[in-house]
Amino acid sequence: MNKVYICYPQGKHKALTMSYDDGRTYDRQLVEIFNKYGIKGTFHLNSGFLGDERHIAPEEVKTLYVGHEVSCHTVTHPTIARCPLPEVAQEVLDDRRALEALCGYPVRGLSYPNGSLSKEIEALLPACGIRYSRVVGSSDSFALPENPLRWQATCHHNHRLMELGEQFLGLFKKQYLYLMYVWGHSYEFNDKDNWDLIEGFCKMMGGKEDIWYCTNIQFIDYMEDAKRLQFAADNSFVRNPNAQDIWISVNDSEPIVLPAGELVLLNG
């Protein structure tokens, strides 16, 4: 039987994603740094605050975050574990509606405001159209999320960022898939006067041939599609029923692409 491994796009085995909350005006500078080095980010916005003196304007959303992901953070940033569930649902759905009207695509991610969550809220989110949600804290690991609705990042940018980045760059065992996930708030770089930290990190991490640079939802969508691949019982062929290409390696050979909607013979 063929030995098959799922790969990231272009056959890569490492992925990097960034996640930043609140939609403050400092996102402009952060996006500029990300774009300079080819880094992809997800930006969790509170639609109820857009346009005040501390947050970006609504009309900026579509252009500022192009090439990145706009995601939910609730309308008004309440501590949702203290709120009735109907209020939580309204906060999430109203945020989705407002953000989708600005960015022009389905918004399907969330980061929990104030890190607040409960089992009941977690169970509610899929019915609100939310596919993943980020919790606070740092895992200090490069593991893939077991539960996307309690997705913990590798680190906050003020927690061992460069150290963990160097470890990530040194990972070479292609029998594993690795993910580095960094989170924070763009205003923290201004508060701590450490814009050089994120600039240095992005410079160090950018342009690497073995890293897939993705948004949070791109990662979730790709891994879900990879699970939907339809293999023969003996792994002699596979059908990709998805709308995007998926990459695999067969018997430790060079990765191959499985085109969207096609059946591919796998030679042993």
pLDDT tens digits along 136-172: 999 999 999 999 999 999 999 999 999 999 999 999 9
pLDDT tens digits along 211-229: 999 999 999 999 999 999 9
Question: Is residue 246 within 8 Å of 240, Cβ to Cβ?
Answer: yes
| Residues forming beta bridges with residue 24, ordered by sequence position | 55
Rounded Cα gap, residues 122 and 3, in angstroms: 36
Rounded Cα gap, residues 252 and 60, in angstroms: 46
The pLDDT assigned to 226 comes to: 98
Rounded Cα gap, residues 132 and 109, in angstroms: 5
Q: Which residue has the tokens 């774009």?
A: 35
What SS3 class is residue 99?
A: helix
pLDDT tens digits along 40-98: 999 999 999 999 999 999 999 999 999 999 999 999 999 999 999 999 999 999 999 99
Q: Which residue has the tokens 């389905």?
A: 106
pLDDT at 177 over 90: yes
What SS3 class is residue 18?
A: strand
The one-letter code for the residue type at 117 is L
pLDDT tens digits along 180-204: 999 999 999 999 999 999 999 999 9
151: tokens are 């997705």
The pLDDT assigned to 136 comes to: 96
209: tokens are 């041939």
The pLDDT assigned to 197 comes to: 98
Closest CA to 155 of 170, 171, 167: 167
From residue 76, how far is each of 79, 87, 202 by CA, in Å?
Answer: 10, 11, 31
pLDDT tens digits along 237-260: 999 999 999 999 999 889 999 999
Where residue 19 falls (left for φ over 0; alpha for ψ -120 to 50; beta otherwise) is beta
The pLDDT assigned to 46 comes to: 98
| pTM higher than the cut 0.95 | yes
The pLDDT assigned to 268 comes to: 57
Rounded Cα gap, residues 222 and 106, in angstroms: 16
The pLDDT assigned to 135 comes to: 98
- The domains of the chain, with CATH numbers, are 13-223 (3.20.20.370)
Closest CA to 124 of 82, 77, 78, 86: 86
Closest CA to 72 of 91, 87, 59, 54: 91
- Under the banding of pLDDT at 50, 70 and 90, the label for residue 267 is confident
